[in-house]
Chains A and B, each alone.
Chain A
Amino acid sequence: MSHTVLVCDDAIFMRTMISDILAQAGFEIVGEAETGSQAVEKYKQLRPDLVTMDIVMPDMGGIDAVREIVKHDPDAKILMCSAMGQQALVVEAIQAGAKDFVVKPFQPSRVLEAVQRVLG
């Protein structure tokens, strides 16, 4: 059975691209979220095997969403999607419980590597 993924990003562009990369690799995208609070809500509802999480989102940011999700499920496998220059935020996200990160611009091979590490 393929792994299920929840894709969280406020940009449709990014969600589309991540979904495409993962879907082509055989993952099943079960949901998308545009804000941190949506991500938390959908995580509880969908219990996906993997979450990709943007850091900067309206409403509730990605890092707070990681904290909330991990509080709810300490084993949650969350992959942060970050940009150059977000070193401190990435460190914070990992300390909050994110399992790995990828850096924009996304290269499909690097995204899939990171996903494999997270799902380990």
Chain B
Amino acid sequence: MDLSQYAELFLAESREHLSACNQLLLEWERHPAGLTPVSGLFRAVHTVKGMAATMGYARVTDLAHRMENLLDVQRRGAHPATDELLQLLFRARDALERAVELSVVGRERELDVAAIVADLEQAAARMAPARPGERPVPSPEPTEPEPEAAGRLVQVTLRPEAPLKGGRAVLVLKRAQALGAVHAVTPPVTAFEADEFDGRFSFRLDATAAAEQIEAALKAAGDVAHVTVGGAEAGGPAPEPGATPGDAGAVGGGPSRHIRVDLRRLDGLMDLIGELITVRGRLNQLAAERRDPAVDDVAIQVSRLSSDLQAEILQARMTPVWQVFDRFPRLVRDVARELGKQVAFRVEGKEIELDRAILDELGDPLMHLLRNAVDHGIEPPAERRRRGKPPEGEVVLTAQRERASVTITVADDGRGVDRRKILERAQREGVVDAHADALTDEQLLRVLARPGFSTAEAVTSVSGRGVGIDVAMTRIRALGGTIEIRSELGKGTTFVLRLPVTLAIVRAIMASVGPERYALPLTYVAETVEFGAVTTTMVEGREAIVLRDHVVPLVHLRRLLGVTSDRAPARAPIIVLELGDRRAGVVVDGMLGQQEIVVKGFDAPQGTLPVFSGATIMGDGVPALILDAAGLV
């Protein structure tokens, strides 16, 4: 049968189980004497094993099987978890994850699981009692040898390739019992439970039926190669029973309330909706020109329906943040362990939902911020004690929904950022005015986010390998989000990330500069004013306007984009953007109103100004670039 169709399901479900393994291992590590996580672990690994075996991924199966064995031995012996055992299981889980991922993409051959398999085996051997099988299983019949037992001697040999021969033997015995009393089962039924059982057994059957009948009845139990009744060899290898499918027709599908959808399907749907919305824009434009009430009616209906459809699709794309957050407890633990720090990690708001595309992009930046929090934020236990703090530091990751955006915070109660040190360094590097005597939060972030800027005296392996805050920041901004820092020396640091709930469709102000149109996402537009209606001034060599006592620097898009055609209008509109506490006034030629735009990914060619975050297609089919507020203010 074609297994490739199941590969994605296998992957998705295996990932879930592996993620669960992480949570359970962490829980176990916190309470090593408790055994509750073990059965969950066992189940998760067992499920992965069964699925992998079905997919034919031998190495995944093998690895999972050894883990399962070890867990089983551990469970039966009710041993508390030692640190060594936990580390081994963590390693094995990671190896299993790699094995799953590689197998699905057809690279199973690259895997070398021999070392970890050997470690698992050794650990299981060390813990195993002399012999398993403490669990007594009642046998269906008395097994005492009955030397003068009544009945005919029946000898059965199962097919050599039959799996789980003991189970099959019990099925044969059941069939025999239907014909008459069964005695003197040799070897005793308890031996059937051992893996060494080779599939040959005999018993006495007190039945009057003909040998052929007995033989046929027993062979019906399946996987029976030979049956001899009353000493006379009867029959050879059983004929291969042909699979006799019933009448075809009814195709099943349980009455389940959920289905799994390939993410690419949702992306495809989203693209189509995007096109629909573009066409809707065109329809509205035409309807406005026509001034025909009937056409207007249809246009309005199409508008409403496509909005509803869009809302439904966006909803279908929403994914709870735990799908990404769930791997962080393990990450924080690993980093803390590596650095010899004690960290309690909490996650709040796991059930908050975000568009899948945003969530997927969020993993790396958050990972970096969490690493930073443990590495640079949380102090070593001794230092914390000296400062009168509990030796265990705290890192909290929180997700919160606020209207159309989701706020994610990464907070630690560590040493906080030493602004004095950073200011000195920033002044040395000429990043900050030499006369400044303090850094605001916003300046601090800008300094920290400079590529390559690090205050760590020694670059540890932890933060040395990751992306810098600058990369995290770029990612967040590319998603249309913002990032803020709050830090207090000695008390801790908090990063606040604000993200749109959905990525694909945003409301934007359309503006023209020369012959081109540009879109400015409304999220960042504070207000619009007219050039000439406000006071212009020069601040630190930059042109600016004064808006309610606040100086707002101006950005002339014409100049920035090098547009020389036509002339700028005298009373050009200024779109005031606001990002955190930074503002900028963007001077454009004209404003074309608001509309919903479908954001398309945008691979900027080298040398493109860093002021575009994407592109969109307008109602008339002409593309327009989307301006990135973060690149302008």
Contact = CB atoms under 8 A, between A and B. Distances in A.
B66 to A, nearest CB: 11
A93 B164 CA distance: 13
A23 B166 CA distance: 30
Contacts of B249: 2, 26
B65 A28 contact: no
Contact of B13 (A11, A27, A87): A11
A114 interface: yes
A1 B164 CA distance: 33
Contact of B46 (A3, A19, A83, A116): A83
B192 interface: yes
Contacts of B54: 13-14, 17, 104-106
Contacts of B138: 95
A108 B243 CA distance: 9
Interface centre among B10, B47, B167 (most CB of A within 10 A): B167
Interface string B39-51: 0101100110111
B252 A116 contact: no
Given A87-B164, A94-B170, A113-B222, A26 B246 contact: yes
A117 B175 CA distance: 11
A31 B527 CA distance: 57
B135 interface: yes
A27 B164 contact: no
Interface SS of B by simple majority = loop
A82 to B, nearest CB: 7
Nearest to B46: A56
B192 A91 contact: yes
Nearest to A94: B170
B633 interface: no
Contact of B6 (A10, A17, A93, A109): A17
A3 to B, nearest CB: 6
B193 interface: yes
Given A11-B51, A117-B220, A88 B252 contact: no
Contacts of A95: 137-138, 140, 170
Given A100-B222, A105-B56, A112-B243, A10 B260 contact: no
A71 B42 CA distance: 28
B167 A116 contact: no
B195 A87 contact: yes
Interface in A54-97: 54, 56-58, 82-88, 90-95
A11 B47 contact: yes
Contacts of A21: 1
A22 B252 contact: yes
A92 B137 contact: yes
Task: Give the size range of B's interface with the partner.
Answer: 35 or more
B193 A19 contact: no
A94 B250 contact: no
Interface in B163-212: 163-167, 170-171, 174, 189, 192-195, 197
B236 interface: no
A13 B10 contact: yes
Given A10-B43, A13-B10, A26 B192 contact: no
A56 B47 contact: yes
A14 B164 contact: no
B245 interface: yes
Contacts of B193: 87-88, 91
A38 B43 CA distance: 17
B17 to A, nearest CB: 8
B254 interface: yes
A106 B52 CA distance: 11
Contacts of A27: 246, 250, 252
Interface in B455-470: none
Interface in B244-274: 244-256, 260
Contacts of A17: 6, 54
Contacts of A116: 241, 243-244
Nearest to B253: A29
B9 interface: yes
Interface string A15-44: 111010111111111111000000000000
Contacts of B24: none
Given A2-B246, A2-B247, A92-B137, A84 B163 contact: yes
Contacts of B241: 113, 116
A85 B252 CA distance: 31
A15 B254 contact: yes
Nearest to A97: B174
Given A17-B6, A94-B171, A95-B137, A87 B246 contact: no
A117 B253 contact: no
Given A56-B46, A88-B135, A91-B193, A13 B164 contact: no
Contacts of B43: 10, 56-58
A52 B138 CA distance: 24
Contact of B252 (A12, A28, A58): A28
B250 A87 contact: no
A7 to B, nearest CB: 7
Contacts of A120: 220
B256 A90 contact: no
B51 A19 contact: no
Contacts of A106: 54
Given A13-B6, A56-B43, A83-B50, A7 B250 contact: no
Interface string B464-493: 000000000000000000000000000000
A54 B164 CA distance: 15
A53 interface: no
B158 to A, nearest CB: 13
Contacts of B192: 87, 91
Most chain B CB neighbours (cut-off 10 Å) among A24, A28, A83: A83
A100 B171 contact: yes
Contact of A105 (B53, B171, B248): B53
Interface of A: 2-3, 5, 7, 10-17, 19, 21-32, 54, 56-58, 82-88, 90-95, 100-101, 103-106, 108-109, 112-114, 116-117, 120
Given A11-B13, A22-B252, 9 more contacts: A7-B254, A12-B13, A58-B40, A85-B69, A91-B167, A101-B171, A105-B53, A105-B55, A116-B243
10 contacts: A7-B254, A32-B256, A83-B53, A85-B65, A87-B167, A88-B137, A90-B170, A91-B167, A94-B167, A95-B137
Interface of B: 1, 6, 9-10, 13, 40, 42-43, 46-47, 49-51, 53-56, 65, 68-69, 133, 135, 137-138, 140, 163-167, 170-171, 174, 189, 192-195, 197, 220-222, 241, 243-256, 260
